[in-house]
Amino acid sequence: RQPAAGPAGESAVEALARVWGYDAFRGQQAEIIDTLVAGRDALVLMPTGGGKSLCYQVPSLLRPGTGVVISPLIALMHDQVDALEQVGVRAAYLNSSQGPDERRDVERRLLAGELDLLYLAPERLPAAAGLLDRCQIALFAIDEAHCVSAWGHDFRPDYLRLSVLHERWPGVPRIALTATATVETRREIAERLQLQDAAAFVSSFDRPNIQYRISPKQDARNQLLRLIREEHPGEAGIVYCLSRASVEKTAEWLSSQGVPALPYHAGLDAGTRAAHQSRFLRSDGVVMVATIAFGMGIDKPDVRFVAHLDLPKSIEGYYQETGRAGRDGQPSTAWLAYGLQDVVQQRRMIAEGEGDQQRKRAQTLHLDAMLALCETVECRRQQLLAYFGEPSEPCGNCDTCLSPPEAFDGTVPAQKLMSTIVRLQRERGQAFGAGHLVDILLGRENDRVRRSRHHELSTWGIGTELGEQEWRGVVRQLLAQGLVQVQGEYGVLALTEAGGEVLRGRRPVRLRREAPRREQERARRG
């Protein structure tokens, strides 16, 4: 095996070819590498699959000493070190999964200058600091740098201590990398890691080969099955569900329908998880049904679709998860089914969850941005990129571009729903969830209606101009727009202050027309 550190004076592109067998850098890789080789700091925002790893691996080979990579995910470290060793790079890691002998061996190799790269879990940094003092460090790479963001979705308290790198080893260049790129996160990373003077490299977050589609949830499993059978038969995909139980049930059901599907969530034992992951990676056409515990660092280029059966909590999460599709650049689908229950459930989870008011406000902002993406009548990609601060034109490759939804004046239906809510509350002191309200609007007699004499309400049966699905769409959109809110644990609905304005005729409501058949038509057109 050849030593990875090449001849003195080897250029970056020569190292790339010799070690990895690639003939050119992608995007901004070359400039980023030059910055580090010259001893300057860099802040890199690049989408998943953009090629972040080479940005610190190559300069670690070109600079004297060992490149130290701070990485939050132990499983990922292991894979990275394996992959590096396969191409002859001398790499190792230090983390809590190791026994003392193994750890001592890594330390010995580090001190002997026998390592090109050392992966370090952030919580091990204090213990390893003395060791690092005694060796030559080529650079520090801080992977998943958005973990410093206290209000982000992946906060790791240990990341806050990483400012010590700059203080203790001021001459060592640092590179912080992330695929999460809101302006706010970027500012937080620069501030907390003291990287205000670093050269910033912001790649486009556009993934033009991914077709974004968000559909009203009707019969989510069958909608999913249609997607797989009609558009991605025999192809690899990931299906995200919120709960472990729904992961299990969905995987079982897909299997019973002849789709090779495997479950993956944190409740499965490590052996099963590893076996399922490796089957997904190695064989063709396996569908992984997973919670969001699955996917970080998974490098499978030919994932043809990512489906969400539940609403992601934030656009960052949605973008990261959908970004696992199509890393080979081939056409791929990001599909999300989203319904009234999702909004109710997520609002409730925030209200009842842990955390102070500030945290809840941040979570609500994240959810609202995600809901706005779901309900938009504009180009999804344009809205997604705008969220990351990137202006763009309508894309032509998302559902709203391909079959533009109709927006309509929904003020009257909104008022009908709202006055039903208000009447129940004022006249009867009662509150109900969406299902019962829709029954009243549609004038549907059932036991509950008769028992509570709701057929005597003045709003009984005043909503027959819309069907049940459409009404559920109206409720969902009013929830998304913050005109109606969920109260208490039973999902009962109440007006918000802004909703009161609508009811009093002081504020119009724009809604997106639900088009249940569109999705099938599109699939048939191919």
CB 231 within 8 A of CB 260: no
**Which of 5, 12, 15, 46 is the binder for ligand ADP (CB under 6 A)?**
46
Residue 207 touching Zn ion (CB under 5 A): no
Q: Which of 378, 373, 248, 268 is nearest to 317 (CA)?
A: 373
What is the phi/psi pair of residue 256, to 5°? Answer: -65, -20
Comparing CB distances to ligand ADP, the nearer of 49 and 482 is 49
- Is 6 near ligand ADP (CB under 6 A)? no
Q: Is 156 in the site for ligand ADP (CB under 6 A)?
A: no
- DSSP secondary structure letters along 332-344: EEEEEEE-HHHHH
Residue 117 as a binder of ligand ADP (CB under 6 A): the answer is no
Task: Please tell me the distance from the alpha carbon of residue 406 to that of residue 391, in angstroms, as a whole number.
Answer: 24
Reduced to 3 states (helix: H, G, I; strand: E, B; else coil), residue 28 is: coil
Q: Which is nearer to ligand ADP, 114 or 328 (CB)?
A: 328
Give the Å distances, CA to CA, from 335 to 101, 237, 306, 332, 392: 47, 11, 6, 10, 21
Residue 379 binds which one of ligand ADP, Zn ion, none, with CB within 5 to 8 A depending on kind? Zn ion
Pick the binder of Zn ion from 379, 385, 475, 484 (CB under 5 A). 379
- Closest distance of CB 44 from ligand ADP, Å: 9
Site membership for ligand ADP, residue 42 (CB under 6 A): no
- How many positions of this chain bind ligand ADP (CB under 6 A)? 13
CA distances (Å), origin 344, targets 127, 213, 361, 383, 385: 45, 21, 16, 23, 26
Report the alpha-carbon distance of residue 116 to residue 105 in Å, rounded. Answer: 15
Indicate which of ligand ADP, Zn ion, none lies near residue 288 (CB less than 5 to 8 Å, by partner kind). Answer: none
Residue 52: CB minimum distance to ligand ADP, A: 3
Which residue from 22, 155, 408, 490 is in contact with ligand ADP, where contact means CB under 6 A? 22
By Cβ distance, which residue is nearest to ligand ADP?
Answer: 51
Selection from 142, 44, 150, 45 nearest residue 385 by Cα = 45
Tell me how far, at minimum, the Cβ of 473 lies from Zn ion, in Å.
21
Closest distance of CB 83 from ligand ADP, Å: 8
When CB distances are held under 5 to 8 angstroms depending on the partner's kind, the choice from Zn ion, ligand ADP, none that residue 51 binds is ligand ADP
Q: Contact between 381 and Zn ion (CB under 5 A)?
A: yes
**Alpha carbon distance 239, 255 (integer Å):** 13
Residue 289 interacts with Zn ion (CB under 5 A): yes or no: no
* Cβ closest to ligand ADP, residue 277 vs residue 415: 277
Q: With contacts defined by CB under 5 A, name the span among 29-37, 60-68, 389-397, 464-472 that binds Zn ion.
A: 389-397
- DSSP annotation string for 111-177: HTT--SEEEE-GGGHHHHHHHHHTS-EEEEEETTGGGG-TTSTT--HHHHTTHHHHHH-TTS-EEEE
Residues that bind ligand ADP (CB under 6 A): 22, 25-26, 29, 46, 48-54, 299
Residues that bind Zn ion (CB under 5 A): 379, 381, 395, 398, 401
